[in-house]
Every structure is written in structure tokens, then in C-alpha cells.
Amino acid sequence: MLEKGTIAPDFELNATPDQKIKLKDFKGKKNVILAFYPADWSPVCSDQMALYNEMLKYFTKHDAQIFGISVDSTWCHLAFEENRKLHFSLLADFEPKGTVAKAYGVYDEKTGTSERALFVIDKEGKIAWSYLSPIAVNPGADGILEALEELDPQ
């Protein structure tokens, strides 16, 4: 798993069938939170993404944009976002499967899914904080908020 101080690997993933998100587009503009998770619709993942949805105003206060990333398809993500009323994008690390999770060192070869991992990337594109959570445990948002507070220039 990539650690603090590492340059975050750039990527381009679909948020919708016709919209791609590139990490480099946020460089110099926003802090980025990447929330890798195993699968849409699983109970822990559902709770985790719902929590981040509730935390959006706090992330915005720290000039941060959050993205959920899993190996599910764009269509699966869109259905999940709509069902759970999420107000942030889920990115499809679908084909080639798990490429971005592998680049960040959080792909589980045995299950073919992402591990449950969090990264806060600063505006310069460096990893400011990372955390690997047990697969059955919602990692919450405290670590994310602490990392964002450390990045605040105030």
C-alpha cells in the first residue's frame, strides 16, 4: 500500500459511461480523498459510502473532493449511487480490472476486488495520509478529517 509522501499515481476512470475523472485535473486545485472499497451493495460498503455522503460538507470545508473506487462497472455504480442517493462520484476500476487499485497497492488478487483503503492526496499530488481497514470494518471518517485538518493552511 502506498504511504504518506508518495506521489499519487495518476489515473483516468469512468464516473459515468461518458464522463471520465482524471486525478491530475485536481492538482493545484483540490485535495482528493480516494475511498477504495470491495463492492457496491455490500452492507459495510453501503454504510461507508452513506457516511461519506453525510460528511460531504466537512470535506468541502477542507477543499477536498471524495471519490469512491471499486472494480464494479459504471452501470452498477450509477444504480448504487441513485439507490443510496450519493452526491459524490463512484469510479469504475473495471477494465482492465483493478488497475488503479493495483497502482495504489490495494488490490486483493484472491477476491478480485479492492481492499478497503483510504487515501488523502494533497493539492500537490502527494499522499498525505493512507489507511488500510479490515475488510469487514467501516473505517469511518475521523482519519480523513484529521489528515485534511493537517493540510489546512490556517
Contact call for residues 128 and 4 (beta carbons, < 8 A): yes
Q: How far apart are CA 117 and CA 63, in angstroms?
A: 21
Q: SS3 sequence, 125-138?
A: CEEEEEEEECCCCC
Amino acid code (one letter) for 93: D
Catalytic-residue membership of 76: no
> What's the Rg (C-alpha) of the chain?
14
Torsion of CA 90, 95, 101, 105, to 10 degrees: 180
Other Cβ atoms within 10 Å of 113 Cβ, number: 24
DSSP state of 9: P
Other Cβ atoms within 10 Å of 73 Cβ, number: 15
Given the residues 45, 121, 145, 148, select the one marked as catalytic: 45
Catalytic site positions: 45
